[in-house]
Structure 1
Amino acid sequence: MPGTGVLFALAVGSGVIAAVRSTWSPCGQSMLSSITPVAEAGRGHRFGSTATFFMIGALLGGAVVGAVCAALAAGLAVVDPPVGPRLALIALGALAGVLVDAGFTPWRTPFLRRQVNEDWLSAYRPWFYGGGFGFQIGTGVMTYVMSTAVPLTLAFAVLTASPRRALVVCIAFAAVRGSAILLTARCRSFADLQGFHRRFERWREPARRATIASLGLVSALAAVAAWASLPAGVALAAVAMLAVVFARPADLGTDPALAARPAPSARSQRAPVPAGPAGGSGSIDRIRAPLIEVVT
């Protein structure tokens, strides 16, 4: 049925939106400052290997969550609800996501304010911390949830009523989420990392508003498909555009990634030093503090 194809496309699109927005989470920023060519060289490791383990872990995380969604989708397939009501649920769910992400409800993002344990960087081997961090990131539900697009993606995956498609939606999210680790692949010095984080931080609010607009587009397209009504789609799109324009800006109280951060110590501001023969990391494991200070 054409409607099921539209539903699947909207679910995948929501997953991509969620993954991109999640890159600006505290956890995403941590990965982009803690697992870099500079940091890995300082620990005596190869960035390419660690990044590979990270992406593999992310895919595994997406597959685990995808298996759960696939099981629920299989149960929904037994009931076999018409595709129209399922598309309507997507339209209404995405609209609710627009309102929440724009700050117009009592429920404010982010949800699940949990970070990965950065002590792993100095305690374990690259395959473990790379894969472990990637797994948590890839699930989408074990660290900071920066947008309603994340839970909506999981709900939309179930609404496909197809185990295979539900699995694909979750793995697509994990693939995009995990590949973000490559953003710093060309940073070869501390100055490169500082410049990258300056540029990255400037895109925080535009990315947030683009996410709101994208959820609005998902809502509008789902409405047109569900009710065969172009005016309904236009109305929902208009609501989303108003939400983008009048969205409450992220501030210290609503976005912990911008919350007060400890000032870097003298030791943390030292230039990174190469690892010793035993693989010690010198001050490189504290690289995140001065990088964060640069963009505040």
Structure 2
Amino acid sequence: MESTLMLVALPVAVLAAVRGIWSPCGLSMLSSITPMTEAGRGNRFRTTATWFLLGGVLGGLSIGTLAAGAGALLGLADLPTSSRVGVGAVAALLTASIDLGLLGIELPIFKRQVNDAWLRQYRAWVYGAGFGWQIGFGVATYIMTAGVFLVIALAVLTTSPIQALAIGFTFGLVRGSAVYLGRSATTPAALGRVHERLDAAGPTARDLAAWVQVAAAATLGAIAWHPAAAAVIVVAAFAASRIGRTVGPVAGQPATGH
């Protein structure tokens, strides 16, 4: 049971990181760091992408380190594992509700881009690692899913520095790896095809990011409270999401109209 929170947090971290690809910042990165654009700057895509990946991992480890410190302080309270799991379930319910559009909180949150002037002012390793770190840190640029906050909360609730760092590492690794989605963009037409595929996959990524949080709430609720809590949470989330979609757009999905 000691590793329950980490095991639940890892898939949330993966899908929350993936969801970030569709932020304006993430999409901008996939247009700005490609074989075509890097060649135009006299750089090698492979080298810049490697720096971006390393920066992403470092960013994830940075947020993991902060969570580890907070977790160490929480550990001083000596809360039973069951209590921490219960808090994790409540946190997952709250963040899933945001992603499902039930709390009136519009995504994305913290609408900040990286500074694209770095592309012209600095060497490839500087903007590669610098952009990667900001992306991997999770809360320094556009936040496309409340799952990012759940990842941090669960990392803190583990009260284990090693587990918190593992969660942060996973998040940062996935965020940093996103740069390789543009590896086939050697021409403008190829770049356009990359973005077409992303446009098609966007709704699925949004839904997966929301429902992995529901799954986390159901799992943690079943462990902390009662096995039947899992079914109640899933059914309630499904019903509430259907009602929410009839009232307005899902969080992170723009309304249609003129």
Task: Give the aligned CA root-mean-square deviation in angstroms.
Answer: 1.8
Partner of 1:220: 218
The match for 2:176 among 168, 175, 178 is 178
- Quick one: distance in 2 between partners of 1:157 and 1:82? 16
8 Å contact 1:213–1:244 — kept in the other structure? no
Partner of 2:65: 67
Partner of 1:285: none
Partner of 2:13: 15
Indicate whether 1:30 and 2:28 are aligned. Answer: yes
8 Å contact 1:112–1:143 — kept in the other structure? yes
Partner of 1:263: none
8 Å contact 1:213–1:241 — kept in the other structure? no
Partner of 1:193: 191
Deviation of 1:188 after TM superposition, in Å, equals: 2.1
Deviation of 1:134 after TM superposition, in Å, equals: 0.4
SS at 1:118's partner residue?
coil
TM value normalised by structure 2: 0.92
Matched residues, percent identical?
40
Query: CA 1:244 to 1:51, structure 2 compared with 1: closer, same or farther past 3 Å?
Result: farther
Partner of 1:241: 238
Moved more, 180-189 or 235-244: 235-244
- Quick one: distance in 1 between partners of 2:237 and 2:85? 18
Partner of 2:87: 89
Deviation of 1:211 after TM superposition, in Å, equals: 1.4
Query: CA 1:150 to 1:34, structure 2 compared with 1: closer, same or farther past 3 Å?
Result: same
8 Å contact 1:209–1:244 — kept in the other structure? no
Letter in 2 for 1:8: M
8 Å contact 1:91–1:218 — kept in the other structure? yes
Letter in 2 for 1:38: M
Structure whose alpha-carbon radius of gyration is higher: 1
SS at 1:79's partner residue?
coil
Partner of 1:284: none
Deviation of 1:101 after TM superposition, in Å, equals: 1.0
Q: 5+ unaligned residues in a row in structure 1: which ranges? A: 260-296
Deviation of 1:123 after TM superposition, in Å, equals: 1.2
Deviation of 1:86 after TM superposition, in Å, equals: 1.1
SS at 1:98's partner residue?
helix
TM value normalised by structure 1: 0.81
Partner of 1:153: 151
Summarize the alignment of residues 39-188 of structure 1 with structure 2, pairs less than 5 Å apart: 39-188=37-186
Deviation of 1:15 after TM superposition, in Å, equals: 1.1
Letter in 2 for 1:112: F
Letter in 2 for 1:143: T
Runs of at least 4 residues of structure 1 off by over 6 A?
none
Letter in 2 for 1:101: D
Letter in 2 for 1:74: A
Letter in 2 for 1:5: S
Indicate whether 1:232 and 2:229 are aligned. Answer: yes
Query: CA 1:243 to 1:125, structure 2 compared with 1: closer, same or farther past 3 Å?
Result: farther
